[in-house]
Amino acid sequence: MSKKKKPVAPPPAGNESVIELDENAASAGMSLQEIADALGKQMMQGKEEEQEAPEPEKGPGTPTVAPAKEAPVAPQNEETSKKIKELEAEVIRLVAENRNQKGRLENEFRTRLKFATEDFFRDFIVVKDDMEKALTFVPDTGDEKVAAFADGIRHLNANIEALLRRFGVESFDAIGTPFDPHLHQAMRMVDVAGRPAQEVVAQHLKGYRYCERVLRPAMVDVASGNAPAEEKPVEAPQDIPTPNNDTEESHG
């Protein structure tokens, strides 16, 4: 009983033959690639014929399908439009406020991180003040050991000052500058000749800055603008005459 041959694709137009995939195609000497190419060509021709086929004409009894209409959109009233605008403005305000708050928090965090060691440096400069004060009491005896010890303390003080400067801590001198309450702390007002009022004339402790902040104000004396009062010479006490007893007795 012979096997039925089954066409793979619809017959193309024209006189081209249809290739049927069975055991006879392989025995005819066709390779698998040739068979696949022929089948692909037949399928492409069939699709082109389907696209070019004319649409069937509509008869008088053929029902006509109307296109679907879009659902009408209900018009928005004034109250709804106003509410939408208010909500949009509220959203914009909340977004702006959130951004501003985020920026403030970031700046505050950076500032705290930058000045995290401020308290340490404020306490450390007190130790440096004591070291500088100790150098003023070094006796000038000409002893080589004392001189070498004093030089070592001065060298150590210079290294500490360089270290502080590397971390942004610097001292500033106040003598001869106008009094600034942000930089100076007035200890007293003094009368000094030839100095204008509000000028710093003496400094008890150096002032220090930490980056752009004042770590410690300088402790100073400020000129009052008045000339010092002249000291009047003290007059010697005059002798008060005492009554003579003999004279009084003679008159009695």
pLDDT digits (tens, 9 = 90+) for 52-74: 656 556 555 555 656 556 555 55
The Cα–Cα gap between 1 and 28 comes to 21
The Cα–Cα gap between 163 and 126 comes to 15
The Cα–Cα gap between 28 and 22 comes to 10
Residue indicated by tokens 């000749």: 193
Q: Quick one: which of 179, 177, 176, 165 has its CA closest to 215?
A: 165
Domain 118-223 adopts which CATH fold?
Nucleotide Exchange Factor Grpe; Chain A, domain 2 (2.30.22)
pLDDT digits (tens, 9 = 90+) for 65-123: 565 565 555 556 888 888 999 999 999 999 999 999 999 999 888 888 888 889 999 99
Q: What residue segments make up the domains of the chain, in order of their start?
A: 1-49, 80-114, 118-223
* pTM value > 0.95: no
